[in-house]
Amino acid sequence: MTQSPPPPARRPSYAQVFRHRNYRLFFAGQLLSLMGSWMQTIGQAWLVYKLTGSPLALGLIGFLQQGPIFFFSVLGGTIADRVDRRKLIVVTQAAFLLQAVTLAALAFTGTVELWHVAALALFFGLMNAIDVPTRQSFTVELVGREDLQSAIALNAIMFNLARVVGPAVAGVTIAAAGEAWCFAINGFSYLAVLTSLALMRTAPFVAAAGRQRPLQDLVEGFRYVVAHREIRTALLALAVSSFAGGPYLTMMPVFAQEVLGAGADGYGVLMTTVGAGALCGALVMGRLRADILAQAPSAAAVGFGLFLVAFSFTSSFPLAVVLILPTAFCLMLQGSATNIIVQMKVEDRMRGRVMAYYTMSFLGMMPFGALAAGAVADRIGVPLTLTCGGIVCTLGGMLALWLRRRPSA
């Protein structure tokens, strides 16, 4: 008796994801909140540049805001595996609201100084180290494993749609009314995500039996990453790209003003184009077949590095806009494809901890790169700094491709 062939695997579908009520609420709340967050990101960078005129100061603020992710995201992931994730996200989002409102008040009153921005950036970073791995691991609770790839792709689309709209609105807002309004709008936007979380219906949290000590959890998560070759290689390539290439965003205000001769409006256009390129990367990534998806992180790293080198050589604003589009496309494709590979491979009990290592590789390496890039740019200039970063990204991607194809020992 012949067996019938197995049914073909279901093609990833965005429509399927929106069947889940909780995900619909999550998507709507996060989209509005992220638009506000991008407005604050642009406003804060422009404020720091206006206060100091220093690439090093931009790098320092970037380090303070993102550095805690490297040091504490694994601890955040451990917490996410031990408590109700929805309630934990409510706490972190409320903290972000407080941070935005405080920065807005300082800016509106004209009393804001660099140390204020630095202190608030550090506070944001500490909360973000808990929030990011928690939100990443919360996705599977909203949609289940069968819709996970599409949900991750939609999360990336949402993030980058906000990245298109937020900087464009921020550029106009800064030029017309000043940075303070960017911070105030962001503060109000957090009400959307807090409302969506309050309306969700989630199963009661049940703590896993036989929990280890937190330090043992951290060690177990690291061993899990090291033992799985595909996860290990993808995270290595992502860490290199984030450190060497990620700071191009931090250096963008200086590049826009001093190299391209563009002001706040031009900076907003560049960052909007970054969002458009990343949005295209997210749209493509959500439809990739499994065999192509496996190669995407390493190949995208090579493309990101090459386009970043090309971008660093231009002094023409229109050409810079054209080149930044595929640069952002490749970095988003690498980051999102790595996210999918890790989430599809990891066991549920390890999800928070392993996603914390993803967060560390992606967001956690950027502040170190921003700090290094700021110091180097003060000496050799922003364009040459970006050139060097692009070359390192290209070499890192090529190394990851070789490691993937090398026979296992």
Domains and CATH numbers, the chain: 17-198+214-405 (1.20.1250.20)
Secondary structure of the chain: what % helix, strand, coil (to 5)?
A: 85, 0, 15
- Rounded Cα gap, residues 25 and 191, in angstroms: 13
Q: Has residue 211 got a pLDDT over 70?
A: no
The pTM of this model reads 0.73
Instruction: Please determine, for residue 246, whether its predicted confidence score (pLDDT) is greater than 60.
Output: yes
Q: What is the 3-state secondary structure (H, E, C) of 219-236?
A: HHHHHHHHHCHHHHHHHH
Residue with tokens 């660099």: 114
In this predicted structure, the answer to whether residue 320 has a pLDDT above a threshold of 90 is: yes
Mean pLDDT, residues 210-228 taken together: 71
Please state, in angstroms and rounded to a whole number, the distance separating the CA atoms of residues 319 and 326: 12
Asked if 16 and 147 count as a contact pair (C-beta separation under 8 A), the reply is: yes
Instruction: Specify the higher pLDDT residue, 170 or 294.
Output: 170
Higher pLDDT, 348 or 341: 341
- Cβ atoms within 10 A of the Cβ of 328, count? 29
The pLDDT value recorded for residue 135 is 85
Least confident of 29-33, 139-143, 209-213: 209-213
Give the Cα separation of 266 and 207 in Å (integer): 50
pLDDT in tens, 271-299: 888 888 888 887 887 677 777 777 888 88
- Rounded CA separation 21/142 (Å): 8
How far is residue 222 from each of residues 32, 85, 142, 357, measured CA to CA in Å? Answer: 34, 21, 26, 8
The three-point CA angle 367-217-224 to 5° equals 75
Q: How many angstroms separate the CA atoms of 26 and 347, rounded?
A: 23
Phi-psi region of 146 (alpha: psi -120 to 50; beta: other; left: phi over 0): alpha
Task: Provide the mean pLDDT of the chain.
Answer: 84
Residue 259 or residue 347, greater confidence: 259
Instruction: Kindly report the backbone phi and psi dihedral angles of residue 8, in degrees, each rounded to the nearest multiple of 5, phi listed first.
Output: -65, 150
The per-residue pLDDT for 310 is: 95
